[in-house]
A and B are shown apart, each in its own frame.
Chain A
């Protein structure tokens, strides 16, 4: 039932929503604006119109070698996501299509591993990493991020796979489809969207993970989280450079996030809210 909404009511809602949105978005907006200022300009006081200089971006690359942590972030987030999918797809598949009476318990147990505070195992993990030479390596951190996000990946995939009707498989089998044909022509096309959204969300989570990535790296494998955290030291306090580095660090994930709004709700609530 469509109702005529008065223009006045719509105008009020619009103005209120835009004010709220601009306040919430302001820190990000101001970071982007500041990144386009020169250093003296950045600390001159409140000013929304920058001189549009790119000098901070250039300095961040030439003085601090921005590209290196950026590549580390890419390798770690994509690598750990692919690794987690490799392990999680079969698991979620088997739980969705041949559930036993223990399936629900296994899922809840997997989720409960997320309840364990990371800091509680900081010491053993640090010592294991030190003794096996995994400290400050991409390999070590990729393994860590895979383990941390594995429960979420399994859960997300499970909620997607569960919605694929089992009867379709039976129908395909009746029509004489081989196991291979069943997977390639029937299941894959239905599973791909779910796997893609899981992948997207997991890359976002891995990119922004800021406990293990900071504690287990120093220079070689340090991703953007550790790189930006190093700006907190007194000698790193340059507003425009900090803004440029921050803008570069959040831009790719911000854009990915905008595209995955819908899946985000589903993924992060383990299918409890759709």
Chain B
């Protein structure tokens, strides 16, 4: 079926996508790499010069740098733990027979479709606000002092918001995987006298391994770049307490007009993403080859 002719046609059909993505990947990245060795400030664009590794040194010695990397990892790790553990629990619950399952599913999946600025602002103003938020109302009703979430626990608050957005994704994927588990296997295990815990550990969890892997991989890609949630809530503060690497680079570039410094940060972000990707692929990738 694959004659020379159709093969040529197939290549032609593939070419535009490959070309576009190749340009998209190479041109901006090459520019970032080039800028990262330049002394280039947008406020003084006439004065561009080669500085070698100065930008990297500058970025590296900035006390905000290590904090931002640590914050980035905390956001990724924190959200992953909450969504995977919570996702498994909710998926197990939704897998039970119940009344109104359709509506329950719709409600649980909804946060995933809420755009990040809306999610962050709703949580910031209506839920976590120390004066008018629902949590403050609850605290007062119970006789406690309201908590100023974004001032006292800025990073934790952001993790909660982002976890709320991604919990439905994890739940939905884990539930889909759970539903493909053979019912007869479960029953056989039950008849053999396996309790809930041993059924979960020896039967359900191994069956979910692949889905958990997929959840971790995909969420990590998105979680490394959390941005809008920080922008509209804490703006990275107080100080650098809730600044992740993405936000630090944005600050350097568009608020500090420092093209060189931001580019050096960008290259570091690429390296970090690759390290995380390789680490993840190694650690959990073998699950995917089945």
Contacts and interface: CB of A to CB of B under 8 A. Distances in A.
A249 B233 CA distance: 18
Contact of B225 (A94, A118, A126): A118
B130 interface: no
Interface in B1-49: 1-2, 6-7, 9-11, 13-14, 16-18, 20-21, 24-25, 27-29, 31-32, 35
Given A10-B98, A249-B115, A272 B210 contact: yes
User: Which of B112, B123, B125, B225 gathers the greatest number of chain A CB atoms within 10 Å?
Assistant: B125
A118 B111 CA distance: 23
B2 A13 contact: no
Nearest to B165: A208
A49 interface: no
A268 B130 CA distance: 36
Nearest to B138: A46
Contacts, number: 291
Contacts of B28: 121, 124-125, 128
A192 interface: no
Q: How large is the interface on B (under 10, 10 to 19, 20 to 34, 35 or more residues)?
A: 35 or more
Contacts of B17: 87-88, 90-91, 110, 150, 154
A143 to B, nearest CB: 10
A166 B7 CA distance: 15
A119 B246 contact: yes
A123 B168 contact: no
Interface in A190-204: 204
A59 interface: no
Interface in A248-267: 249-250, 253-254, 256-258, 261, 264-265
Interface in A22-66: 22, 24-25, 27-28, 30-31, 34, 42-43, 45-46
Contacts of B153: none
Contacts of B18: 91, 106
Interface string B88-122: 00100110111111011111111111111111011
Interface string A97-111: 110100000100010
Given A27-B122, A214-B228, A246-B118, A269 B218 contact: yes
Interface of B: 1-2, 6-7, 9-11, 13-14, 16-18, 20-21, 24-25, 27-29, 31-32, 35, 90, 93-94, 96-101, 103-119, 121-127, 131-132, 134, 137-138, 164, 167-169, 172-173, 176-177, 180, 183-184, 187, 210-211, 214, 218, 221, 224-225, 227-228, 231-233, 245-246, 249-250, 253-254, 259, 262-263, 266-267, 269-270, 272-274, 277, 288
